[in-house]
């Protein structure tokens, strides 16, 4: 018997077996869910888990069907509608933006030191050149006193070198006068020598004739010898006094022989006072270096007091009194941040494929995420000349005009920029659309007391509204509230006019 049943079952196709098994399972589940007692089901949890299902109870099914019919008969809502009308719009593109100040300055210190005083606190308004922070400058002040003393000493050396040079020049004036005297002395000695030479020759002639005695001739000869010695001494003294002041000295120093005596004297003085001039120049250089060092220390003292480079507001202070500051910042951490709130910008990024649609001066509407009721106007003032090679986008900045009291840097906003000419189109609120994707969605139309689900083709967004390309016509009534309770074909009544 069992063998015959097995053979019979083996001949049944697989799909039929699967269908037959499913039907048997459903039948057993219906019988078990409706005929088994609760106490029996509790005793056999394995069977209960396999075959019991609350939804297969006949009483549950009847009750659900009855409730559905009643609910369907009673489903009715009052709705608010808006009439579709063509509106004048300007094509625009919308972007997520962030509010930022036009000027933002990070304050760093050019010198190292410990913070001694902080003159401001976060939120304070500051003016340009106002004191912000003072660093401890005692070390710089002590160095300043040392440098001042060194500078005064070097200045005295400069004056001493100048005086030595002046004395040297005066000494050469004296030498020129002595040379003139020695030249006169040489001329006089030569004249005396020449005169005695002539006188000696005459006496020699008279001696040869026997007129002049030998003793007189010897005396004259002795005197002539003295005159010759005087002449030689005068000539030697003149030669010695002109060493360094001769024409050959001028040539050896690389100068040309001047035509007048005044220029000649000046050149000779310059040649012979080179050492003194070098001393003056060296002392001047040392003094100038000391002055540079002095100014450097004075600058360090000045830089130890940090001042504001702009008119603005203290946005953030990162350092505290007593904290050690390194020159140029530690780990690129600034001491404080100052921002200017006079001009606020909305900054956003545009895909490279759309950059050509933007120009300087284009109008823009700015709406703040935290306050949808406030709308600001602005215009594009800056378009980045480069495109980011990673995001393939370019930054655009819009200057916000008008009162900006409720705006704060860092706020998130939405920027809408006009990129085309005016046209007529259908606009409906974003929040009444049931989106399918970026290009399609559903809305509910009111017609003859019924709500009908209608597919629409979506276009560009305009702040809280979106353009409808297809699916609606002028004169249609679109349900705006309550959208979450609408069903296709339910009865509705208009609440608003």
Domain limits for position 173: 140-286
DSSP code, position 136: -
In this predicted structure, what is the pLDDT of residue 6? 58
Q: Burial level of 452, CB count in 10 A (0-12/13-18/19+)?
A: middle
- The span from the CA of 481 to the CA of 157, in Å, is 96
| Structural domain contains residue 306 | no
Cβ within 8 Å of residue 220, ≥6 positions away = 196, 199, 200, 203
Question: Tens of pLDDT along 118-150?
Answer: 999 998 999 999 999 999 988 889 999 999 999
Question: Alpha carbon of 209 to those of 203, 213, 214: distances in Å?
Answer: 10, 10, 11
Q: According to the per-residue pLDDT averaged within each range, which of 347-351, 363-367, 403-407, 465-469 is highest?
A: 347-351
The answer, yes or no, to whether the previous bond of 482 is cis (omega within 30 of 0) is yes
The residue ranking higher by pLDDT, 207 or 387, is 387
Question: Alpha carbon of 13 to those of 9, 61, 281: distances in Å?
Answer: 9, 34, 119
- The span from the CA of 159 to the CA of 404, in Å, is 65
Length of the chain: 497
Question: Tens of pLDDT along 442-466?
Answer: 999 998 888 999 999 998 777 678 8
In this predicted structure, what is the pLDDT of residue 39? 54
| Structural domain contains residue 296 | no
| Structural domain contains residue 414 | yes
Structure tokens at 171: 């000494």
DSSP string, 106-127: EE--SS-EEEEEE---TT-EE-
Do β-strands 76-83 and 491-494 pair in parallel, antiparallel, or remain unpaired?
Answer: parallel
Coil, strand, or helix at residue 53?
coil
CATH number of the domain within which 398 lies: 2.40.30.170
CB 307 within 8 Å of CB 129: yes
Question: Tens of pLDDT along 166-212?
Answer: 888 887 777 777 888 888 888 888 888 888 888 888 888 888 888 87
The residue-averaged pLDDT of 377-398 equals 91
Print the SS3 string covering 230-296: HHHHHHHHHHHHCCCCCHHHHHHCCCCCCCCHHHHHHHHHHHHCHHHHHHHHHHHHHHHHHHHHHHH
Both 148 and 257 in one domain: the answer is: yes
Q: Based on DSSP, count helices (H) and strands (E) in the chain, helices before strands.
A: 10, 21
CB 164 within 8 Å of CB 276: yes
Structure tokens at 328: 């140029």
**Which of 89, 245, 252, 75 lies closest to 176 in space, CA to CA?**
245
CB 482 within 8 Å of CB 78: no
Both 153 and 266 in one domain: the answer is: yes
The residue-averaged pLDDT of 295-311 equals 91
CB 409 within 8 Å of CB 453: no
> Is the whole model's pTM more than 0.75, yes or no?
no
Query: Angle 145-150-151 (CA atoms, 0-180°, nearest 5)?
Result: 95
**Which of 123, 199, 172, 201 lies closest to 272 in space, CA to CA?**
172
| Structural domain contains residue 26 | yes
**How many distinct structural domains can be found in the chain?**
4
Both 241 and 271 in one domain: the answer is: yes
Query: At which of 365, 393, 418 does a domain end?
Result: 418
CATH number of the domain within which 166 lies: 1.10.287
The residue-averaged pLDDT of 84-100 equals 84
What is the pLDDT confidence band of residue 273, given thresholds at 50, 70 and 90? Answer: confident
Q: Which residues pair with 395 in a beta bridge?
A: 349
Rama region for 463: left / alpha / beta (φ>0; ψ in -120 to 50; rest): left
In this predicted structure, what is the pLDDT of residue 70? 40
Both 144 and 281 in one domain: the answer is: yes
Strand segments, DSSP code E, in 55-207 are: 76-83, 86-89, 92-107, 113-118, 125-126, 131-135
The residue ranking higher by pLDDT, 255 or 401, is 401
Structure tokens at 315: 């946005």
Cβ within 8 Å of residue 429, ≥6 positions away = 82, 464, 465, 466, 480
Do β-strands 412-418 and 423-429 pair in parallel, antiparallel, or remain unpaired?
Answer: unpaired
Q: Which residues pair with 363 in a beta bridge?
A: 379
Both 212 and 251 in one domain: the answer is: yes
CB 308 within 8 Å of CB 130: yes
Both 168 and 272 in one domain: the answer is: yes
Q: Which residues pair with 470 in a beta bridge?
A: 457
Both 145 and 279 in one domain: the answer is: yes
Query: At which of 391, 418, 445 does a domain end?
Result: 418
Sequence-separated contacts (24+) of 23-31 with Cβ below 8 Å: 25/51, 29/53, 29/56, 30/56
Both 329 and 414 in one domain: the answer is: yes
Question: Tens of pLDDT along 320-339?
Answer: 898 888 887 655 678 999 99
Please state, for a pLDDT cut of 90, what percent of the chain lies above it.
22
In this predicted structure, what is the pLDDT of residue 292? 93
What is the pLDDT confidence band of residue 151, given thresholds at 50, 70 and 90? Answer: very high
CATH number of the domain within which 480 lies: 2.40.420.20
What is the pLDDT confidence band of residue 71, given thresholds at 50, 70 and 90? Answer: very low
What is the pLDDT confidence band of residue 233, given thresholds at 50, 70 and 90? Answer: confident
Both 153 and 102 in one domain: the answer is: no
Check the CA dihedral 295-300-305-306 and report its sign. Answer: positive
What is the pLDDT confidence band of residue 348, given thresholds at 50, 70 and 90? Answer: very high
Coil, strand, or helix at residue 431?
helix
The residue ranking higher by pLDDT, 481 or 53, is 481
| Structural domain contains residue 291 | no
- The span from the CA of 334 to the CA of 321, in Å, is 15
Both 126 and 151 in one domain: the answer is: no
| Structural domain contains residue 295 | no
Both 253 and 161 in one domain: the answer is: yes
| Structural domain contains residue 344 | yes
Q: Which residues pair with 386 in a beta bridge?
A: none
| Structural domain contains residue 342 | yes
Query: At which of 368, 403, 418 does a domain end?
Result: 418
In this predicted structure, what is the pLDDT of residue 235? 84
- The span from the CA of 128 to the CA of 124, in Å, is 13
pLDDT, averaged across the chain: 82
Both 426 and 414 in one domain: the answer is: no
- The span from the CA of 292 to the CA of 296, in Å, is 6
In this predicted structure, what is the pLDDT of residue 281? 92
């Amino acid at each position: 018997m069992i063998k015959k049943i097995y053979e019979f079952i083996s001949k049944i196709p697989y799909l039929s077996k699967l269908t037959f098994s499913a039907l048997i399972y459903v039948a057993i589940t219906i019988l078990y869910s409706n005929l088994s007692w609760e106490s029996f089901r509790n005793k056999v949890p394995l069977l209960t888990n396999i075959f019991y299902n609350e939804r297969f109870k006949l009483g549950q099914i009847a009750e659900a069907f009855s409730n559905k019919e009643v609910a369907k008969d009673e489903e009715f809502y009052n709705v608010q509608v808006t009439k579709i009308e063509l509106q004048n719009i300007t094509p625009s593109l919308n972007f997520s933006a962030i509010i930022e100040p036009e000027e933002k300055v990070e304050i760093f210190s050019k010198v190292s030191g410990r913070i001694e005083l902080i003159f401001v606190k976060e939120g304070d308004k500051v003016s340009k050149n106002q004191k912000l922070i003072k660093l401890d400058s005692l070390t710089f002040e002590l160095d300043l006193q040392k440098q001042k003393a060194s500078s005064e000493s070097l200045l005295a050396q400069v004056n001493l070198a100048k005086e030595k040079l002046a004395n040297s020049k005066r000494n050469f004036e004296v030498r020129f006068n002595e040379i003139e005297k020695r030249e006169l002395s040489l001329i006089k000695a030569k004249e005396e020598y020449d005169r005695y030479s002539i006188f000696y020759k005459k006496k020699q002639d008279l001696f040869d004739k026997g007129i002049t005695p030998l003793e007189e001739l010897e005396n004259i000869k002795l005197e002539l010898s003295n005159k010759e010695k005087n002449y030689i001494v005068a000539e030697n003294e003149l030669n010695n006094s002109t060493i360094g002041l001769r024409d050959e000295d001028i040539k050896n120093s690389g100068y040309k022989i001047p035509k007048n005596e005044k220029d000649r004297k000046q050149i000779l003085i310059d040649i012979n006072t080179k050492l003194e001039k070098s001393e003056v120049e060296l002392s001047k250089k040392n003094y100038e270096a000391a002055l540079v060092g002095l100014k450097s220390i004075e600058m360090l003292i000045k830089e130890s007091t940090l001042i504001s480079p702009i008119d603005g507001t203290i946005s953030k202070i990162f350092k505290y009194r007593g904290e050690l500051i390194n020159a140029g910042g530690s780990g690129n951490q600034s001491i404080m941040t100052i921002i200017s709130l006079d001009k606020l910008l909305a900054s956003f990024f545009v895909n490279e494929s759309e950059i050509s649609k933007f120009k300087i001066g284009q109008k823009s509407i700015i709406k703040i995420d935290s306050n949808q009721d406030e709308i600001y106007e602005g215009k594009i003032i800056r378009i980045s000349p480069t495109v980011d090679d990673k995001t393939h986008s370019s930054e655009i900045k819009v200057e916000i005009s008008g009162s900006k009291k409720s705006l704060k840097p860092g706020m998130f906003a939405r920027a809408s920029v006009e990129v085309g000419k005016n046209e007529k189109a259908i606009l409906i609120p974003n929040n009444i659309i049931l989106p399918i994707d970026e290009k399609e969605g559903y809305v509910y139309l009111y017609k003859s007391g019924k709500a009908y689900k209608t597919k629409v083709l979506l276009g560009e967004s305009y702040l809280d509204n979106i353009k409808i390309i297809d699916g609606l016509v002028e004169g249609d009534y679109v349900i705006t509230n309550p959208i979450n309770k609408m069903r296709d074909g339910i009865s509705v009544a208009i609440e608003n006019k």
